[in-house]
Amino acid sequence: MKYDFDTVIDRSLNDAAKYDELETKFGRADLLPMWVADMDFKSAQPILDAIARRADQGVFGYTTRHDSYFKEMCSWYKRRHNWDIKKEWILHSPGVCTTISVIMREFTQPGDKIIIQPPVYYPFFDLVRDNGRELVLNPLKRVGDEYVMDYEDLEKKIDDKVKFLILSNPHNPVGRVWTKEELTRLGDICLKHQIKILSDEIHGDIITGEHRYIPFASISEEFAKHSITCFSATKPFNLAGLQASFAILPERKDYERFEKLMGILDIRRNNCFSLVAVEAAYREGEEWLDQLLIYLKDNIDYVADYCSRHIPRIKPNKPQGTYLVWLDCRELGLDDKALNDLMLERAKVALDGGTWFGAEGSGFIRMNVASPRAMIKEGLERIEKAVNELYGGQ
């Protein structure tokens, strides 16, 4: 069927954090929300139907996962990403951040070091620090208009207290889809120093160009055993509110440690709606996702073209993966506070501040383009007007 991504959906009764938390997060509610990474689209019809059928049953007790749940997920990753995931590697988690926090507590000790690669998804900073672990920064290098990993800096910062590297693949916010060669070099370094990779791959299904997402653990058996992978159907199918993700732990002792702690916390089960929604997504959601990816690519191209023609001081990247556009605003000549004020007070658009992702994000902002084209157009027109007012139309 043909899906409609152009209709603007009223989310005022949706209990949507993206809208209802504007005042808490930004200090005012009259903003166009283009920040937190969920989508302003209805999910795939087979998912809506599966949830409706479950709701019609009228009984919402404890759930259990049947073989079909795992079969559909494994089939999806084999079909789309050539990764053979075994059922006995898979554990449920409410979310990727839950997984990372549990791993920090169970697999490391206070004072152990964890490496991240900023500018990067900002909860990583707090997940490490709030669990009493030491944060080590291995910033990405910006080469021309693209970001790459700094392997030399990584090697310099490794010592015997480093236990994990948290990888963002595809990378949020800069949109890189790491190549097999890049991931292999990273993996070889971590293997040499006996560092495990905790790979956040929640955006792996959102590839908007010709690039190919490579699950880190799919590269070799050694990499699989020395890694824990986090992913979810919630990001590509706009199901974040259903609280369901996967942790993939090919090393059996790691699996058993994680499973035991999730049992202690009593968060091993899906809720009844995520159970049927995730299975339906992997079984019948491909048509919707393929159409979505085309729409997202067109949105990304629209942002790039609009900025080039109307706001040339702002230079957006074209993300290889994710629906998040990293806007280079340095030619505006503003410090980060002034840039933030420009977007909030003049443009009245809510965007993720670049420094949320680390000091390396200074001068940048992140724009979520997973919305109907009319909303993207309105956001850009607001920003154009604000920039013109600031510079007198020059």
Looking at residue 60, its amino acid is: F
CB-based burial, 204-235: b 16+ in 10 Å, e otherwise: bbbbbeebebbbbbbbeeebbebbbbbbbbbb
Assigned token pair, 221:
């058996």
Domains of the chain: which residue ranges? 17-44+286-388, 58-284
Tell me what pLDDT residue 392 has. Answer: 74
Tell me what pLDDT residue 83 has. Answer: 97
**Of the options 3.40.50.720, 3.30.230.10, 3.40.50.300, 3.40.640.10, the CATH number for the domain spanning 58-284:** 3.40.640.10
Rounded to whole angstroms, the Cα distance separating 232 from 237 reads 9
Does the domain spanning 17-44+286-388 belong to CATH 3.40.250.10? no
Mean per-residue pLDDT of the chain: 96
pLDDT in tens, 51-61: 999 999 999 99
Percent of the chain with pLDDT strictly greater than 70: 99
Do 17-44+286-388 and 58-284 show the same overall fold? Answer: no
Residues 21-44, mean pLDDT to the nearest whole number? 96
Instruction: Of 274, 309, 282, give the one whose Cα is nearest residue 380.
Output: 309
Q: Beta 196-200 vs 134-137: how paired, if at all?
A: unpaired
Rounded to whole angstroms, the Cα distance separating 243 from 96 reads 9
Listed in sequence order, the residues at least 6 apart from 261 whose beta carbon sits closer than 8 Å to its beta carbon are 102, 105, 106
pLDDT in tens, 160-208: 999 999 999 999 999 999 999 999 999 999 999 999 999 999 999 999 8
Q: Which helix (H) or strand (E) holds 290?
A: helix 286-310
pLDDT in tens, 356-392: 999 999 999 999 999 999 999 999 999 999 999 988 7
Tell me what pLDDT residue 139 has. Answer: 98
